[in-house]
Structure formats: C-alpha cells, structure tokens
Amino acid sequence: MTSPDTTASAALFERARGVTPGGVNSPVRAFNAVGGTPRFIRSAQGAWLTDVDGNEYVDLICSWGPMLLGHAHPEVQAAVTAAVARGTSYGAPTEPEVELAEEMVARSPVERIRFVSSGTEATMSAIRLARGFTGRDVVVKFAGCYHGHVDSLLASAGSGLATFAVPGTPGVPESSTALTLVLPYNDRSAVEKAFADHGDRIACLVTEAAPGNMGVVPPEPGFNAFLAETSSRHGALFVSDEVMTGFRASRQGQWGIDGAHEGWVPDLVTFGKVMGGGFPAAAFGGRSDVMSRLAPEGPVYQAGTLSGNPIATTAGLTTLRLATDDVYAHITAAGDTIKQAASEALSAAGVPHCIQATGTMFSVFFTEGPVRDFADASAQDVGSFAAFFHAMLDAGVHLPPSAYEAWFLSSAHDDRAVQTVIDALPGAARAAAAASEGER
C-alpha cells in the first residue's frame, strides 16, 4: 500500500507548530497518540473529507460527534446561509433560541434550558448551579469520564477510594480538585462509600450518560438509575452529561435508551455537539426549580456574549428537526455492518479486541475486554491501534487518532462510504497484528 501524498499537510503542520502549541487547537488532533502528520482538511461533503493534498477519506470522526447528518447538508447549509444574511450576532434574544429550547425540552427530560458555547461551559455552569442550589461544595465524578476542561473536573483519583482528587494537569491548583471525588465507573460500592463518607457535603454527581471518552463503555443495567436514586437520597443533584450522547446515541440521547425503561430522570443535563449542528453551541438544563436559581431569575451568575448565537441555534434547530427516526435507523445499520466487518477482520488477523456500543455509538477496543471502566480501557495495545489507524488512513478512512474514542457515523455514510471502510479493514487488521508481534 502506498501512502498518500501529504506534502501540503506536512507543510501546514510545520507552519502551524510555529504559531500554535503542537500545531493544533485541540490536542488529540495532533496525532500524538498515533504518530505521523495530521491531515489538514480543506473541505468536507457528506461522509467524506478532502485534505489539502486532495486525498479523500471516509470520515469516522464527524467532528467528534456533531455531524449527525454528514458534512455540508444542503438544508442545514441553506438555513445557515439565510441566517448569516440577517446578521451573525446581536447580543439580544432571538426566535431561533426559543425554538431550539422548545425542541430540546420536548425531546429530553429537561424542563428549562440555558444555551452556552461549548460543552466545557455547559458542565462548568451546571456544577456551579448545583453548588448554588444545594449550598454544598463537593462534586463526584468517574475516572475516564471527560466533561471538558473544567478545572475541578480535570482531576485524578486520590490515593484511596473516596478520597479527594489531585489535579490531572499542571495549571489546576490543588484547591480546585480538593472538592472533587473521582470513582471507578460502573462501581456501585465505590459510589455508596463516597456518599456514606461525604453525603452531606456532595452538591452533585456528574457522569457521562454513557461514557464515550474512554471508548464506549455502556452503563451496566440500572447504573444510571442507581446513581440518580443515590444522589437524590443524599440531597445531591444528579448531573447527566449528554454532550456526546445527546441526540447522537439515540433521538433523545442515552436517556432515551435507558431512562425510559429504567425510570431515572436527571436533575440537570448538559448538551453540546449535535445540538449545534457543527457550530459552537451547547446547553445545560433540567428541573425547573433548579434552573430558576440561575441569573436573572435567581442568584447563581452565568452569562455569555455568544450564548444562543442565531447562526448556531439555526444550525442546531435545523439538524434536530432533520434528525428523524430514519436517521438513527440508518446510522445503526451502517454501524452494525462496520462493527461486524471490524470484528471479522481483527479476529481473522488474531488481534485481541472487543467492540462495545450504546445506541448508535460504538468503539473498537484493542483489548479482549469487556471494558467496564477506565482501568479496563487502559489495558489496550495502543501500539497495535496506531498501526491499524495508519493503515486505515492510507486506505482512505479517517478514524479518530486515539484508541480511546468512539467511531462516529452520519446519515450520509452511504454504501460507498461503508464499503470503503469494509475494504480497508483486513489490511489494517494485519498491520495491527504485525505491530503487536513486533512489540513482543
């Protein structure tokens, strides 16, 4: 297999590194986990990316989730173009904000909602609101769940179970994580111990509704219901982070998958990605009595210059209205075909792997699994994944450049795109096997 020409990407990467740390504006894009040169993208259409060298790739990143309908969807494009012609930001309320809020309230368990510009802002604001509402300080989170780069959530587990966390990165003061408890995911006894030890100080428990940031690790049956019940019993709020899963895992997000039959309702929910239709938009919402503590109705301060931006809300609203059951059925079917082909190719090459899914989201782990938590996910053979990733890329498939990520599809992933992935898999699986052999 000949590697595609990447001269223009390499030249841009060189220039970018001169002016931007690592040459990228979000670390995973730099290919550090897999090595090599990130592809600089010139344009995208449907399921396909075109890089600055003219190479085409089936896109399995989909902007890390938002592009549910594929790139440059004609109806989203038309709505956005019309909105741009009316002006791009006013700093005053608009009709699309109200319409998007109504659409999201109708589809999800939230009663009221507030728009922000990123998932990070959404979780940061939800935590502030939970603290303001309860008058308590402590936050519980799970190892391997990512909620954006909020200081108090960039935390690693302390020295023992249910002890307070230590900063996960330089730049976060110990005081910021001193009120955070980090627990293993899917571990009920750890949750029970944390609440037994600190229950009267816990403002909220925040969790990805179904983690996708350590690869896809579904909650075990009843786990979210257990979290909601335990939080409520101790007077803490249950914050369900649906930034990734919301309107992506299903039409309603993860809550629509296990909330309905398990009967749990979060106190607060965070959203992002799909609801912005590829523009910077996110939100947090929830119980009316909790949301009414927010300024200007209540005393908890929160604001944003571009919050509810008319272009972003128009893109989000158009996307959500087009996200019918057929869209999710199509993505599910395409995902099932790819999952099966990946499993067959990796099995044939003798590569230990496991494929996990929740709704339309799935990921391929380079370990036998099952993967229940971050410790299990960390057992992956990342060298083998890197070889697999590059072989896929050379064959025209752009996977997320890390073994710890979900593979994202869209309604634009048609037979040609899916077949390109299927054709690439056997060679990539053999490359993964060879890399694994080389490591021994």
Ligand X SMILES: Cc1ncc(COP(=O)(O)O)c(C=O)c1O
CB of residue 196 to ligand X, shortest distance in Å: 27
CA dist 247 and 66 (Å) reads 9
CB of residue 118 to ligand X, shortest distance in Å: 4
Judged by CB, which is closer to ligand X: 123, or 134?
123
CA dist 258 and 221 (Å) reads 8
* Per-residue burial over 307-317, b = 16 or more CB atoms within 10 Å of its CB, e = otherwise: bbbbbbbbbbb
Letter for the amino acid at 264?
Answer: W
Catalytic residue among 59, 141, 273, 376: 273
CA dist 2 and 433 (Å) reads 19
Active site residue 193: no
Active site residue 241: yes
Measured over the CA atoms of residue 101, residue 102, residue 108 and residue 110, the dihedral's sign is positive
Q: What is the DSSP string of 380-425?
A: S-HHHHHHHHHHHHHTTEE--SSTTS-B---TT--HHHHHHHHHHH
3-state secondary structure of 385: helix
Catalytic residue among 51, 59, 187, 241: 241
> Phi/psi zone of residue 201: left (φ > 0), alpha (ψ -120 to 50 degrees), beta?
alpha
Scan for tokens 């699986």, then name that residue.
Answer: 429
Q: Which residue has the CB atom at the shortest distance from ligand X?
A: 119
Measured from the Cβ of residue 260, the count of other Cβ atoms closer than 10 Å reads 12
CB of residue 172 to ligand X, shortest distance in Å: 16
Judged by CB, which is closer to ligand X: 119, or 167?
119
Judged by CB, which is closer to ligand X: 143, or 417?
143
Binding site for ligand X (CB under 6 A): 64, 118-120, 123, 146-148, 208, 213, 241, 243-244, 272, 282
CB of residue 117 to ligand X, shortest distance in Å: 8
Q: Alpha-carbon dihedral of residues 414, 326, 210, 124, nearest 10 degrees?
A: 100
Judged by CB, which is closer to ligand X: 216, or 282?
282
Q: For residue 284, which of 264, 307, 261 has the smallest C-alpha distance?
A: 307
CB of residue 363 to ligand X, shortest distance in Å: 13
Residue 196 neighbours by CB under 8 Å, 6+ apart: none
Measured from the Cβ of residue 82, the count of other Cβ atoms closer than 10 Å reads 10
CB of residue 139 to ligand X, shortest distance in Å: 14
Catalytic residue among 146, 185, 328, 404: 146
CB of residue 367 to ligand X, shortest distance in Å: 21
CB of residue 146 to ligand X, shortest distance in Å: 5
Active site residue 200: no
Measured from the Cβ of residue 201, the count of other Cβ atoms closer than 10 Å reads 14
The phi and psi torsions of 235 (rounded to 5 degrees) equal 75, 15
Q: Are strands 56-59 and 268-271 parallel, antiparallel or unpaired?
A: unpaired
Q: Is the separation of the CB atoms in 185 and 227 below 8 Å?
A: no
CA dist 131 and 268 (Å) reads 12
CA dist 248 and 277 (Å) reads 11
Judged by CB, which is closer to ligand X: 243, or 338?
243
Whether omega before 310 lies within 30 degrees of 0, making that bond cis, reads no
Judged by CB, which is closer to ligand X: 280, or 383?
280
Residue 30 neighbours by CB under 8 Å, 6+ apart: 22, 23, 24, 38
CB of residue 399 to ligand X, shortest distance in Å: 16
Assigned token pair, 252: 């309603």
Measured from the Cβ of residue 296, the count of other Cβ atoms closer than 10 Å reads 8
Residues assigned a catalytic role? 146, 241, 273
